[in-house]
Chain A
Amino acid sequence: MVKELAISTRGLTKQFDRQIAVHDVDLQVDVGEVYGLIGPNGAGKTTLIRMLATAEEPTLGEIHIYGDRLLRGQDNPNLKRQIGYLPDDFPLYDDLTVWDYLDYFARLYRLREPRRSQRLREVLELVQLSHKRHSQIATLSRGMKQRLSLARTIIHEPLLLLLDEPVSGLDPIARMQFREIIKVLQEAKMTILISSHVLSDLAELCTSVGIMELGYLVESASLQTLYRRLSRQQIILATLGELNTLRAELQNHPQVEDIEVLPETQQVKVYFSGNPEQGAHLLRSLIESGIPLTEFHPTQDDLETIFLKLGHQQAS
C-alpha cells in the first residue's frame, strides 16, 4: 500500500540574489510523522519551512500538501486551512487580549460558535494560558507569547504543523512545557515538521529527521534507520573491584568491539554489537565470574553525536 504523504516537494529551490538558500530539495514526510529538520544556521531550514507554509514563493519546484499542489498567486483556501505555521519571530498584536487574539484568528479560519469558544478554551488549556485569557498580550513573558503563538497556530486544528525554532530563547522549564504540548499534538495525529537547534529535544520528539546543509537536504530518514545505521550501542559499566579484571572478562565476549576506560572513575564504556539477549547474557556472565558490578547501563549514540559523525557541524 502506498503511504499517504503530508508533504511532498519536487526540485524545490529558492534563490536570494545569487545565493541559493534551498537547492533542489525533494522532501517527503509521511502523514502522522514528527519530522525534525536540523542543520547549522543559514542551511536553509527557515526558507524551506516558509515555502511550505506559503509564506515564501519558490524560485523553482513544486510543493504538494496532502496531495494538493500549492499554487502561488491564488488564495489556496483549502490548503491554508490544513497548515499551521509558527515562525521563529512570532509577531503578535500587543493591543489585544489573549482571548481576543485567538478569537480573531479562529474567525479568520472560519470557526463558528459554539465550536469556536470551545476550541479557544481547549487550546488555552493545552498551552496553559487559561489564567491569562483576559491579559493584554504586551504583558506576557516570552515563553507565554511563544505558547500563545503556538495556540494561534493550532486553533483551526491543522493537519500539518510547521514549527520553526519553536523553543529558541526559552528557559529549560518553558522548553519542557513546549515539548509536552508537541507530544499531545502528536497524539492528536497532526503531522509536525519542526526545525530546532536543540537536538536532544528533537531526539525525544521526532520520528524522522532531515539534515540540511548549504541549502541541500543531505539526509532524510526515520530516526530508527539513522540510529541503526550510524549509532553504536554502548554499555557503561562500573565496578567496585579492579578495572583490569573487568576488562579481561569483557574481552572474552565476541560482541564487545572496544573498551574505553573513563578517566578518574571506576567506569568503562563498552562498544557492544550484540542484541538485547546477548547483552543480558554478558551481564549474567560478568556477575557469575564474581565481578562486583555497581552499574550496567546500555545506551547508544545520541542525535548530536550522529550529526557530528556525519561530518556536519551544529552551530549551537
Chain B
Amino acid sequence: MIPHLLLLVSDWNPQFFRELKGRLKPRNIALTIATSLLVQSAILLYLWAVLPSPTSTYSRYCTSKTDYLLSDCVLDATGNPIINWQIWWSDLFQSLSWLLPFVLLIGGVYLLIGDLAKEERRGTLNFIRLSPRSSQSILIGKLLGVPLIPFLAVVLAIPLHLWSAAQAGISAEEVVSIYLVTGAACCFFYSGSIFYAFLGGAQNWLGAAAVWFSYTIFFQLWQIYQHDSSYYLGLKQWYNLPIGESLSFAVAFAVMNFGIGTFWIWRAINRRFRNPNQTLISKRQSYAMTLCFELLMFGFVFREHHRWDHPIYDLMTMIAFNLVWFLVLIAALTPHRQTLLDWARYRRDGGAAKAKRVWRRSMLRDLVWGEKSPAIGAIALNLFIPVAVFTPWILIWEGADQQIRGFLGLLFCMLFLLICAAIAQSILFMKFQKRAIAAVGVVGALMILPAIAMLTLGVHPDHNPAAWLLSAFAFVAMEFASAPAIAFSFLAHLAIFSLFTLRLTRQLRRAGESELKALMAHRTL
C-alpha cells in the first residue's frame, strides 16, 4: 500500500518526492518523534505539576464554591481537592492550539528560506528551472516537502490535541476552525517565505523572527480580546458585515484574507521562478494587488462608530499600513540595473515603426505597463489607487478642517512614498554588489529612523510639527502644523522627488546612448 502510494506521489510531484527522500531519513524521523513526544510530555508534566494538592487553598483547577476563577477548593471526603478536569483539559487544548501552529509556521518558514537560498547559491535551482515541469509543480513540491519535519512533529501531537478537545468539551467547530486557520496561515507564510527568498533574502533566522513577532502580536491580541465574548480578535465589522460576531464569520474572514494573499504571492513566485531576472510582480499585477489591499483595509471603516471615534484615526491607521505595503511593493516592483540598461538601450528596437510614430504615448504606456521600465510611474499609479478609494469617503466627513487634514495626510504620505520609490530605483541602478539590500535598508531607515529619533529626542508632533512633516508620518503633525509650514514641506517633498527623478532620467538617457556615442563622449555609467 505505502510503496504504491509513494509511486503515485513520485509521479505526481517529483520535487515533493525528492524532498521526502532527502528529509525523512531514519535519523531525522527518530529525532522528530522523540522531540515531539518529549515536548508533549513536558506540557503534560507541567500541567500535572500545577494541579492542586491537598494543602492548596486556591487553584485554577479546583472545583470551587463560587464562580470566581481562583477560589476556595472544594474537598472530597478524603480531604483531597475536587479537580475541575474540564478546565485542565481545556488548558492543555489551548496550549497545544497555540504551540502547533507556531511550530508549523516558524519551522516551515525557517526551512523554506534556508532551502531556497541554498539552492540559489549552489546553482541547482537553475537545473530544476530548465526541466519541463511547470513552476507550480516545483513550488508545490517545495512548499509541501521542505517543512516535512515540522509537519511530522505536529501530526504526532494531533491525537493529544483532539483528545484534550474531547475531554474539555470543546466544540468540533472550534477545533476545525483552528486547523483551517492554521492551514491557511501556513499557505500564506510559506509562499511568503519563497517570496522573500526570491527577493534575495537568504537569512532564514530573519524570516523566523518575523513570524515569531507576528505570532506574538496575534497572541497578545487574542489575550486582550479573549474575554470579550462578542468579538473575535477585536474584529467587529467589515463593510458592516459582523465578521467578529461568530466564529464561522471570523474564520471565513481570516481564511479569505490568507487565501487572497496567498493567491497574489503565488502568482509572483511563479513568475519569478520562471524568469529570475524579472521583477517579482508585473506592473499589471501590482495595480490589482494594491486595489485588493486597499479594499480590504477600507472595509474596516464601515462599522458602528463610537461618538468619539473620528474617521481621521481610521485614515491614519490605513496610511500607516500603506507605508508598509508600499515598502514591499517598491521592493517587488523595482527593476534592477541590467533590466533598466536593456530597457533604456533597446526599448525602441523591439517596437518597430509603430512605436516610433506614437513615441510619447508608447513611452507612457511603457511606464505604466512595461515589463522592464522603471517602477516610479507604476508606483505613482499604485499610489493613486488609495487616493481614489479614500477620497469619496473623506468628502463625506463632517468638518472641513478634518477633511483638509485627511487629504493633506494622504498627499504627504503619497509624496513621501514616491520619494522612496525614486531613491530605491536610483540605488538599484547603481553599480555595486548588494544593491537590493542597500535599497531596502535605506528606504526602511528613511521611513522608521527619523520618527524613532524624534520620539527619542522628545521632538513631538504637537510641539515641532515642521520636523514631523518631513518624515513618513507627516499625517500625525497635520493637526498642529501651520499653513506656511505645510506649504514649505510640500515644496520640499516636491523638490526632493524632482531631484531624484531628474537624476534618474539623465542616467537613463545616458544608458540609452549607443556605444559609439558614449565612446566619443569618453563616458562610463
B-facing residues in A72-126 (Cβ within 8 Å) = 72-78, 80-81, 83, 85, 87, 89, 91-93, 95-96, 100, 104-105, 107-110, 112-113
Interface check B518, CB cutoff 8 A: yes
Question: Known contacts A15-B342, A100-B21: does B124 contact A93 (CB below 8 Å)?
Answer: yes
The yes or no answer to A54 lying at the interface (CB within 8 A) is yes
A-contacting 9-mer, from B96-104, B131-139, B288-296, B501-509: B131-139
Number of chain B interface residues as a range: 35 or more
Contact between B135 and A73, CB atoms less than 8 A apart: no
CB-based contact B274/A74 at 8 Å: yes
A95 to B19, CA, bound (A): 11
Instruction: Give the nearest-CB partner of B132 in chain A.
Output: A77
Contacts of A72 in B (CB 8 A): 275
- Residue B341 at the A interface, CB < 8 A? yes
Report A-chain residues with C-beta under 8 Å of the C-beta of B309. none
Residues of chain B with a CB closer than 8 A to A108's CB:
14-15, 128, 131-133
Docked Cα-Cα span, A53 to B132, in Å, equals 12
Residues of B within 8 A of A207 (CB): none
Q: How does the 8 Å CB contact mask read for B154-197 relative to A, with 1 for contact and 0 for none?
A: 00000000000000000000000000000000000000000000
B342: A residues at CB distance < 8 A: 15, 59
The reply to whether the CB of A60 lies closer than 8 angstroms to some CB of chain B is: yes
Residues on the A chain within 8 Å of B525, using CB: 17-18
- The CA of A105 and the CA of B340, in the complex, are separated in Å by 35
Which A residue sits closest to B349, measured CB to CB? A60
Within 8 A of B (CB), among A49-80: 53-55, 57, 59-60, 72-78, 80
- Cβ-based interface call for B278 (8 A): yes
CA–CA, A96 and B20, complex, Å: 12
With contact pairs A55-B130, A108-B14 given, residues A91 and B122 touching in the complex (Cβ less than 8 Å):
yes
Pick the most buried of A73, A77, A81: most chain B CB atoms within 10 A of its CB.
Answer: A73
Q: Which residues of A contact B132 (CB under 8 A)?
A: 75-78, 80-81, 108-110
- B126–A55 contact, CB under 8 A? yes
Q: How far is the CA of A112 from the CA of B278 in the complex (A)?
A: 33
Main secondary structure of the interface of A (DSSP, over half): loop
Residue contact B14 to A104, C-beta cutoff 8 Å: yes
Closest Cβ of chain A to B93, distance in Å, is 39
| Chain A residue with the shortest CB-CB distance to B270 | A75
Residues from chain B with Cβ under 8 Å of A105 in the complex: 127, 131
Q: Does B305 have its Cβ within 8 Å of any Cβ on chain A?
A: no
**A-facing residues in B294-343 (Cβ within 8 Å):** 337-338, 341-342
List chain B residues, Cβ under 8 A from A85: 130
Q: Which residue of A lies closest to B131 (CB)?
A: A108
Closest to B275 in A: A73
Our pick among A15, A92, A107, A109 for the contact of B11 (Cβ within 8 Å) is: A107
Select A15's contact among B126, B275, B341, beta carbons within 8 Å.
B341
Write the nearest CB–CB distance from B356 to chain A, whole angstroms: 17
Closest to A59 in B: B342
Smallest CB separation, B261 vs chain A (Å)? 23
| Residue among B17, B277, B338 making CB contact with A17, cutoff 8 Å | B338
- In the complex, whether B463 has a CB less than 8 A from a CB of chain A is no
> Which chain A residues border B11 with CB–CB below 8 Å?
107, 112
Residues of A within 8 A of B14 (CB): 104, 107-108
Chain A residues, CB < 8 A from B122: 91
In whole angstroms, how far apart are the Cα atoms of A77 and B138 in the complex?
A: 13
Complex Cα gap A54–B271 (Å): 15
Least CB separation from B271: chain A residue? A73
Q: Looking at the assembled complex, report how far the CB atom of B370 sits from the nearest CB atom of chain A, in whole angstroms.
A: 13
Chain B interface SS verdict (over half): helix
Residues of B within 8 A of A104 (CB): 14, 17-18
How many Å from the CB of B183 to the closest CB on chain A? 27
Q: Are A57 and B277 in contact, with the CB atoms below 8 A?
A: yes
Query: What residues on A are CB-neighbors of B124 within 8 Å?
Result: 91-93
Q: Are A60 and B346 in contact (CB under 8 A)?
A: yes
Q: Are B10 and A54 in contact (CB under 8 A)?
A: no
CB distance from B441 to the nearest CB of A (A): 23
Interface check B123, CB cutoff 8 A: yes
Q: Measured between alpha carbons, how far is A109 from B129 in the docked complex, in Å?
A: 11
Given contacts A53-B130, A60-B346, A80-B132, contact A73 B18 (CB under 8 A): no
Annotate B257-298 by CB proximity to A: 1 below 8 A, 0 otherwise: 000000000000001001101100000000000000000000
Q: Is B22 close to A, CB under 8 A? A: yes
In the assembled complex, the Cα of A60 lies from the Cα of B348 at a distance in Å of 11
Return chain B residues, CB-CB under 8 Å to A83: 130
Closest to A100 in B: B21
Tell whether B462 is near chain A: CB-to-CB under 8 Å.
no
Among B11, B130, B134, max chain A CB count under 10 A is at: B130
- The CA-CA distance from A18 to B130 in the complex, in Å, is 27
Chain A residues positioned under 8 Å from B433 (CB to CB) = none
Which of B21, B134, B277, B518 is within 8 Å of A18, CB to CB? B518
Does any Cβ of A come within 8 Å of B55's Cβ?
no
Give complex CA distance A95, B132 in Å: 24
Q: Does B431 contact A (CB under 8 A)?
A: yes
Contact with A along B414-428 (1 / 0, CB 8 A): 000000000000000
The complex places the Cα of A81 from the Cα of B130 at a distance, in Å, of 9
B460 within 8 A of A: no
Q: Does B515 contact A (CB under 8 A)?
A: yes
Per-residue B-contact encoding for A213-236, CB less than 8 Å = 1, 0 else? 000000000000000000000000
Residues of A within 8 A of B524 (CB): 18
Other A-B pairs, 9, CB within 8 Å; known A55-B129, A55-B130: A59-B345, A77-B134, A80-B130, A91-B122, A91-B123, A105-B131, A107-B14, A107-B17, A108-B128
Q: Can you report 19 residue pairs joining A to B where beta carbons are below 8 Å apart?
A: A16-B338, A17-B337, A17-B338, A17-B341, A18-B341, A18-B525, A57-B275, A60-B349, A75-B132, A80-B131, A80-B132, A91-B124, A96-B22, A100-B21, A107-B11, A108-B132, A109-B131, A110-B133, A113-B7
Which residues of B approach A to under 8 Å, CB–CB?
A: 7, 10-11, 14-15, 17-18, 21-22, 122-124, 126-135, 271, 274-275, 277-278, 337-338, 341-342, 345-346, 349-350, 431, 515, 518, 524-525
Which 7 interchain pairs have the tightest Cβ spacing?
Answer: A107-B14, A77-B132, A108-B131, A91-B123, A80-B132, A81-B132, A104-B18
Instruction: Give the B-binding residues of A (Cβ under 8 A).
Output: 15-18, 20, 53-55, 57, 59-60, 72-78, 80-81, 83, 85, 87, 89, 91-93, 95-96, 100, 104-105, 107-110, 112-113, 152
